[in-house]
Amino acid sequence: MTGLTPARKRLAMLALALGGFGIGCTEYVAMGLLPEIARDLLPDLHATNPDAAIARAGWLITAYAIGVVVGAPTIAAASARFPRKGLLATLTVAFTVGSVASALAPTFGTVLAARFLAGLPHGAYFGVAALVAAKLLGPARRGLAVSLVLVGLTMASVVGVPSITFLGQHVGWRWAYVVVAVVFALTTAFILAVIPKEPGDPHATVRRELRAFKRPAVWFALLTGALGFGGFFAVYSYVAPLSTEVTGTSSGFVPIVLVVLGVGTTVGILAGGRLADRGAVRAIFILFGAFSVSLLFLALTAHTVVGLLVGVFAVGASAQAIAPAIQTRLMDVAGESQTIAAAVNHSALNIGNSLGAALGGVVIAAGFGFVAPTWVGLALCVPGVAFALAGWSVTRHRTSPGAVDAKADASV
């Protein structure tokens, strides 16, 4: 994208990040509003068994995640030939519609369906946005480009989700999704105004995009990301009881812990993007090492307030720093199937989210305590690194067009 002024590029990157901010809000805001949603949509069950009602309301989070897993490869494969500006705007319109439907749907079943539909564009948006951002900043700064798109997602956990959750708790959970819809509507207008036109790939076909899955290195990268984020969500899902039951803080201190974790993820995303530009595979190994040390530190020091805060910051930073490195790695090894490779990364990450939360719940239910999910995260680092090594081994003797860091990675 030549001929663009630096100011226009900054505005375009801001528009892409705003979309990530909206996605972070729509994905995570339900977590803080489950009691209100359960009380409104499942009144009979809530009256007799509030815990069971809240647990069932949690299906809304699962429905969104399933939508991400299903939508990322299908939408990306089918839309690779479309002009990217129009495709991004179409995806944010779909988010807007899904958010409005979530706010207006009258029953639990219809809200569940709306959350599934709202998750469908998630992976495709991040995949296409990553490709557009990489084109804006140039091949030497692809990792930074990816991180700047993803930083909107992490900023949502610091600013957007707490604010919208507060609103939903005081004026009704449906208004939370109205606000999210407004964010996506503004994003659509912003994209149309500042994103430069860029054609899609006229030679792209569904079959060609699906060829990415014939490449072992693509599978190894996806598995590396899924397990890495599985470890992160094993901790993130249970950070509230870790704070109250292990550290001994009040429930009012939990939002502070979440903000510290969110700041860590934001710092990590940006640092990881810069590190990925120096070699994606090398960055993955370095960051898994940092992630492992962070998890070990948190497990050993979570009984103190300082240890908890430093630990969650470090875990958030090191885990999220892996994301742009994985995304860059996929862009290197996907060959011509760039769109689907960039999108399915988010399917893998959502599978990791579910895996980490489930395994963390298993060890807690088994009576090992609320520090145990941290050890689960540490254990998941082992196969994560193993798959990263396997991915490196199948590509270290080859170079592929556009793999600007292949030489550096081969020297790991």
Supply the CATH number for residue 378's domain.
1.20.1250.20
User: How many domains in the chain?
Assistant: 2
Instruction: Identify the pLDDT of residue 118.
Output: 94
Please give the residue range of the domain that contains residue 308.
Answer: 208-412
- Same domain assignment for residues 85 and 231: no
Helix axes 122-137, 59-79, angle to 10 degrees: 50
The letter for the amino acid at 9 is K
Q: Say yes or no: 194 and 264 in one domain.
A: no
Distance (Å) of CA 299 to CA 153, 199, 275:
26, 49, 26
pLDDT of residue 1: 54
Residues 110 and 236 in one domain: no
Select from 204, 221, 251 the last residue of a domain.
Answer: 204
pLDDT over threshold 80, residue 305: yes
pLDDT at 412: 40
Residue with tokens 């944010």: 92
What is the SS3 assignment for 398?
coil
CA-based nearest residue to 76, from 87, 66, 65, 85: 87
* Distance linking the first and last C-alpha atoms of the chain: 32
Question: Which residues have C-beta within 8 Å of that of residue 191, sequence separation ≥ 6?
Answer: 15, 16, 19, 85, 88, 89, 92
Structure tokens at 337: 């199937």
Above 60 in pLDDT, residue 409?
no
Residues 62 and 24 placed together within one structural domain of the fold:
yes
147 in the same domain as 85: yes
Copy the structure tokens of residue 196. Answer: 């430069």
Are 385 and 279 part of one and the same domain?
Answer: yes
User: What is d(CA 336, CA 131) in angstroms, rounded to the nearest whole number?
Assistant: 13
Question: CA 270: distance to chain centroid?
Answer: 14
Task: State mean pLDDT over 249-275.
Answer: 87
Residue 168 shares a structural domain with residue 230: no
Q: Are residues 196 and 289 in the same domain?
A: no
Tell me the average pLDDT across 311-321: 93
Alpha helix segments (H runs only) across 138-249: 142-155, 161-171, 173-194, 206-210, 216-236, 239-241
Cα Rg of the chain, angstroms: 20
81 plus 168 within the same structural domain: yes
Examine the domain organization and report whether 374 and 288 are in the same domain: yes
Examine the pLDDT at 353 and tell me if it is beyond 60: yes
Residue 411 — very low, low, confident or very high, per pLDDT cuts 50/70/90?
Answer: very low
pLDDT band at 190 (very low <50, low <70, confident <90, very high): very high
Same domain, 123 and 269: no
Res 204: pLDDT: 65
CB-based contact 132:16 (threshold 8 Å): yes
pTM: 0.77
Please indicate, yes or no, whether residues 162 and 34 belong to a single structural domain of this protein.
Answer: yes
